[in-house]
Structures are given as structure tokens and as C-alpha cells.
Amino acid sequence: MLQFLQDAASVEIHPFDSLTASVADWARLQAYRRVRHHEDYPGEPLLPDSDFEHDLRVQQPLSDWRRFLAIRRGALVGNLLLVFRREGSPGYEEHGPFVHAGGGVLRANRRQGIGTALLAALHDFMPTRGQTIATMKAHLAEGNAFMEAMGARPKLQSVENRLAFDALPWNELAQWQAAATQPGGTLAWEIHAGRVPFERLAVLMAPFTALINEQPLGALEMPRIRYEMEGYDTWYAEMDRRGGEHFLVMLRHGEEVAAMCDASWDARFPERVYQQLTAVAAPWRGKGLAKGVKAAMLNLIRDRHPAVRTMLTTNADANAPMLSINQRLGFVVHRREVTYQIERDGLASTLLAAGSRRSMRRPWRQR
């Protein structure tokens, strides 16, 4: 199947090995990813070449990946990135059926069969790891159209929201924070700026795992999300290398986590901060705690990094309470994204149909 679709699109699909790639291979990939970035994410800051190469060379303890490049007449015109659980890591059996696929095609080369040839590479790779479900995302109109044409089903709608710090109602935020812990109440603040001690993180993995799995995630088929110390080890080491901070704000009832909010700051993009999870345990909902930890986080970041101008966060459309809080804060929608899933059997049917259509068109084009 892959060979036929490659021939039909006049493209070759090659694996890219970051550990054995030549200087010329890296230069071609770097040039390609710069063009793709400006086409698909115009105006967004671009990761430096050295950091991009470093990230591709580092082996992660929990995840593994494969990259495939689409080459036409010597030029790199498309790519496919597959990310999946590393074999032998904790929870591998639960994660085994799933693979996350990303990538794309340069705008001038779209609608020419290259994306379909890359999907054939995905189809052919999946059985080598026992994978049966592929998850993909799209935020551009042409990307969503491609997903629908290939038969992938939309499972989750989400939005990237952005907040301008210079427009924040700081007086109202102070009231939100104060209201979260009334005098005589049983809740206490716990705040970490820069890093959370590893011994403290280890205790928090279980309650954070419980909280994140209570978040609405549409109809996505997926394994249980896990907070894991191995991930923090590598993330903190990476922040030590390039500069960055992790912020955590919690409200505790004794040792119980009633509410939490965390965010991160990357020294390479100093005017931005990235909001991660905000969650409230079920018994404590409806008491203003989400607003309280959000307000505490924003005040913490302003004190720590006064040059920050924008906060970025992503929310599921189904998470109405958090979207409402973000709207009150002044977050505005920057980008909408749809997460799709398709089973390998469905992918096979799509590729067979695509192959048949190309086969029927070939004689007509040669007349």
C-alpha cells in the first residue's frame, strides 16, 4: 500500500534517525520546519535550531517516537511524527494500543497525495508496536478537512486561550484569592515557585493523577492519564539546561489537595507563561477555589517575572466552569483545535479507497 501511494504521489517516505542523521539531513529538516512553522503558526516564536536538535536527540524515559520524511525530487515536502509509550515503562500495556500522530505538508505541495502517503506510513508502522488507534490534531481549515476526508472521527474540541497581563483586574484577583481561605476555615495555602522539591512531588503524584482524570475530555479513547516522577525528572533537567521555572499553587485540607493550579515559564520566551492544570477536588467545588488558586498563580507570576505579558492555556470546550472563569479574567480565544481518532482498520479502508481513485485517474492523465 505504501509503495503504491508513494509512486502515485511521486514521493519517497524515509525514516529520520536523529542519532545517525548527517549535517545535510539536519540542515534540510531545519529549513523545512521553519517554513512549516511560519505557514501553520504565523507570528509565533520559533524554537532555536540548537534546541530543536537537542530535543530530538534526547531519549525520554516514558515516551518513544519515530519520524518519517516525505521527499519529492530531493526536497523535503512533508513529515510524520509518531509518539507512543516507551516499551517497558510503567503502564506500557495500558498505553500500548495508542499512537499520537502529527506532521503535515508544505502548503505549496498540499492536495497532491503526499499526506495520504504519510498516512500509509502510519498504517504500516502501527502493527509493529501493536497499535490500533491513532490520535491526531488539527487547527487549520485544510487540516480539519483532511481529517474528515480520511474518515477520522472528531473526539474532542478545545481552544487555546490567551490572557494579556496588562488588562488583568488585579484588585478583583486579590478578592478572589482572599475569599478562598476564609478566617476560621480549614484550608491552607501551599505555594512553590521555581521548582517543587522532588520529595514533595512524589507525594503529589497520586492526588494529581486523580484530579486530572476528572477533567472532561470529550469522547477520547485513551488510557488513564498518569502523573509520573520520571517525567518531572527529565522536565526539570531540561529547565536547568535552558532556563525555566515551574510554579505550583495549592489549597490543602490537611494533607488532602482541595485545589491546585500549576504553570511554567521558559527563559527562551520570557514574555510568556504557560498555564497547565487547574483543578478542584469534587467535595470542594462550587466554593470559588478555582478562582482563588488562579488568582494566587497570577499574582505569583507577576511578582516573580514582571516582564511576562501573556498567559497561554488550553481548555476543552466541555469544561464550561473553567472557560467561564477564564472569560471573566479576560482570556480570549486565539486558536481552536479538534482532536481526531481513527482505528487502523478504518485507516486501511481509507487508503484502499485512495489507491483505487488514483488507479482510476492514472489512465486519464496519460492520454
Domain boundaries of the chain, sorted by first residue: 2-157+339-366, 169-329
What distance in Å separates the CA atoms of residue 50 and residue 52, rounded to the nearest whole number? 5
What distance in Å separates the CA atoms of residue 121 and residue 126, rounded to the nearest whole number? 9
DSSP 185: -
Q: Decide: 55 and 266 in contact? Cβ < 8 Å.
A: no
Residues 65, 67, 68, CA angle at the centre, nearest 5°?
A: 150
Contacts of 272 (CB under 8 A, 6+ apart): 45, 265, 266, 308, 309, 310, 311, 312
Q: Taking residues 69-88, what's their average pLDDT?
A: 97
pLDDT category at 362 given cuts 50, 70, 90 is very low
What distance in Å separates the CA atoms of residue 146 and residue 333, rounded to the nearest whole number? 23
Please determine, for residue 364, whether its predicted confidence score (pLDDT) is greater than 70: no
Cell numbers for 143: 487540516
Confidence at residue 353, expressed as pLDDT on a 0 to 100 scale:
86
**What is the tens place of the pLDDT at every residue in 88-108?**
999 999 999 999 999 999 999
CA nearest to 111, candidates 80, 78, 71: 78
* 162 HSE (CA, 13 A, CB side): 12
Please determine, for residue 130, whether its predicted confidence score (pLDDT) is greater than 80: yes
Question: Which of 97-101's residues contact partners 24+ apart within 8 Å by CB, and which partners?
Answer: 97/130, 97/131, 97/132, 97/133, 98/131, 98/133, 98/134, 98/135, 98/221, 98/222, 98/223, 99/125, 99/126, 99/129, 99/131, 99/133, 99/134, 99/135, 100/134, 100/135, 100/136, 101/134, 101/135, 101/136
pLDDT category at 354 given cuts 50, 70, 90 is confident
Q: Taking residues 99-122, what's their average pLDDT?
A: 96
pLDDT category at 8 given cuts 50, 70, 90 is low
Query: CATH topology for 169-329?
Result: Aminopeptidase (3.40.630)
Pairing of strands 310-316, 272-280: parallel
| Average pLDDT along the chain | 93
Q: Taking residues 117-126, what's their average pLDDT?
A: 96
pLDDT higher at 261 or 362: 261
CATH 3.40.50.970 fits 2-157+339-366, yes or no: no
Residue the block writes with cell 474540541: 157
pLDDT category at 361 given cuts 50, 70, 90 is very low
